[in-house]
Amino acid sequence: MESPRCRKDPCGFICLILTYLGVVYADYVVVQHVLIPVYSDSFWFSIHGAVFNLILVMLLACHLKAVFSEDHGMVPLPVAAIDFSDLRSQSSRKNDRGSSEGWRLCNRCETYTPPRAHHCRVCQRCIRRMDHHCPWINNCVGELNQKYFIQFLFYTGLASLYCIALLVSTWVWRFRGERGGGGGGGEESETTSNKHFIIGHYIILLVVCVLFGVFVTVIFYDQMVSIISDETPIEQLRSRLTKDKGASRPRPHKPTLALLREVFGRGSVLLWLLPLRSNPPMAEGVIYSALPDYDV
C-alpha cells in the first residue's frame, strides 16, 4: 500500500471539503426548498427525489474512488536502494527519453519509471500515464483512476443540469402561481423574509450549478480529447516542445473504441457508468514492475 502523501496538500484538502459541502447543500436546497413545497402532493416528489439522490450517490462514489484509489498509477519504489551513480552520468549524456524501451530514470524517486509515467511534484512520486494533479480529488489523475475522475465529472455535470432544470422550473411555476393569485403551493403563508431566504438559496445554488456545470463540461471534453488522441496534456506539451527535434512519442494508430476501453475497461459500455474497477489497462503490453531489465 502506497503512503498517501498527496493528501497532505492543504489546497486539495480544502477542495475536498468544498466538494462534500456543495453536495450536501445542493441536496438540502433541492429537497427542502424545491421538492417538499412544490411536489409533496405529487408522485413527482418520489421520482425527482430518487433520481436526484441517485445521481448524488453516484457522484460521491466516483469521487471517493478517485480520491482513495488504492493504486491510481503510482510507480512503486524499489524495496532496496539502487546505486544510480554510474547510470546518472550515462543518462545525463543521453537524451531525455533514456532507455531504448522508453523506461527512464527519475532522479527524485530514485527509481526507473515505465513509458508514459511522469513525476508529480505534489504527490512526490511518478504516476503512470499522469494526466494532471487535481486538487478537487486531492490526487493525481493517472492510469488507474482516470475512469473514476471522468465519471465524477459526468455525474457532477448531470447533477448541475438537473438542479438548474428543477430550480428554474420551480421558480417560474411559483412566480406564475403568485401572479395568478393561487396554485403557488402555499405561498400565502410564507412571510416576505422567508421568501427572500428561499430565493437566496435558489440564486446561490443556481450560480454554483452554472459555474460547476461549465467547469466540469470543459474538463470532461479535454479528458475525452486526451483519451481519443492517445496523448495526455503533459505529453501534448512535451511533444510540442520536442516537435522540432523529432523526438515525440511514437503513437501507433488505435481505434477510438480501443482507446476508450483502455480507460473505461473492456466490459459492457453500460459498466462505464459505474465506479467499478475495470481490467487494468496494459498499455502497449508493458508489464510494470519496480525495476526493468536494465544493463546496470
Annotated catalytic sites, by residue?
134
Cβ-based nearer residue to Zn ion, 112 or 212: 112
Neighbours of 70 (CB within 10 A): 11
C-alpha cell at 52: 436526484
Stretch that binds Zn ion, among 16-24, 26-34, 61-69, 129-137 (CB under 5 A): 129-137
- Is 164:216 a contact under the CB 8 Å cutoff? no
**Out of 35, 59, 137, 140, the residue judged to bind Zn ion by CB under 5 A:** 140
**DSSP for residue 118:** E
CB of 42: closest distance to Zn ion in angstroms?
47
- The residue from 15, 23, 106, 224 that contacts Zn ion (CB under 5 A) is 106
Going by C-beta distance under 8 Å and a sequence separation of 6 or more, which residues neighbour residue 247?
A: 95, 96, 97
Shortest gap between Cβ of 119 and Zn ion (angstroms)? 3
Q: Scanning residues 189 to 228, which ones bind Zn ion (CB under 5 A)?
A: none
Q: Of 120 and 209, which CB lies nearer to Zn ion in the complex structure? A: 120
Beta pairing class for 117-120 and 111-113: unpaired
Which stretch in 113-121, 146-154, 169-177, 190-198 sits in contact with Zn ion by CB under 5 A?
A: 113-121
Q: Is 119 in the site for Zn ion (CB under 5 A)?
A: yes
Which of 119, 254 has the CB closer to Zn ion?
119
User: Could you tell me the smallest distance in angstroms from the CB atom of residue 133 to Zn ion?
Assistant: 4
234 binds Zn ion (CB under 5 A): no
Count of residues making up the chain: 296
**Is residue 120 at the binding interface for Zn ion, with CB under 5 A as the rule?**
yes
- Residue 285 DSSP one-character state: G
- What's the min distance (Å) between Cβ of 123 and Zn ion? 3
User: Which residues, 6+ apart, have CB-to-CB distance to 69 below 8 Å?
Assistant: 139, 144, 145, 148
Q: Which helix (DSSP H) or strand (DSSP E) does residue 60 occupy?
A: helix 44-67
What is the rounded CA–CA span in Å between residue 269 and residue 278?
11
| Closest CB 69 distance from Zn ion, rounded Å | 12
- Residue 109 interacts with Zn ion (CB under 5 A): yes or no: yes
123 binds Zn ion (CB under 5 A): yes
Nearer to Zn ion, 108 or 243 (CB): 108
Using the CB atoms, write b or e for 194-219: b if 16+ within 10 Å: eeeebeebbeebbebbeebbeebbeb
Q: How many residues bind Zn ion (CB under 5 A)?
A: 10
Q: Does 133 bind Zn ion (CB under 5 A)?
A: yes
First-to-final CA distance of the chain: 28
Q: Determine, following the binding rule CB under 5 A, whether residue 249 of this chain makes contact with Zn ion.
A: no
Q: Which is nearer to Zn ion, 59 or 126 (CB)?
A: 126
Residue with cell 446561490: 204
Distance separating alpha carbons of residues 193 and 197, to the nearest angstrom? 6
Q: How far is the CB of 165 from Zn ion (least distance, A)?
A: 35
Task: Please report where in the chains the cell 504527490 appears, as a residue.
Answer: 123
Confirm or reject binding of residue 59 to Zn ion (CB under 5 A).
no
Query: Is residue 108 a contact point for Zn ion (CB under 5 A)?
Result: yes
Task: Decide the pairing of beta strands 125-128 and 132-134.
Answer: unpaired
Tell me whether residue 126 or residue 144 sits nearer to Zn ion (CB atom).
Answer: 126
Number of Cβ within 10 Å of residue 2's Cβ equals 15
Report the interface residues with Zn ion, using CB under 5 A: 106, 108-109, 119-120, 122-123, 126, 133, 140
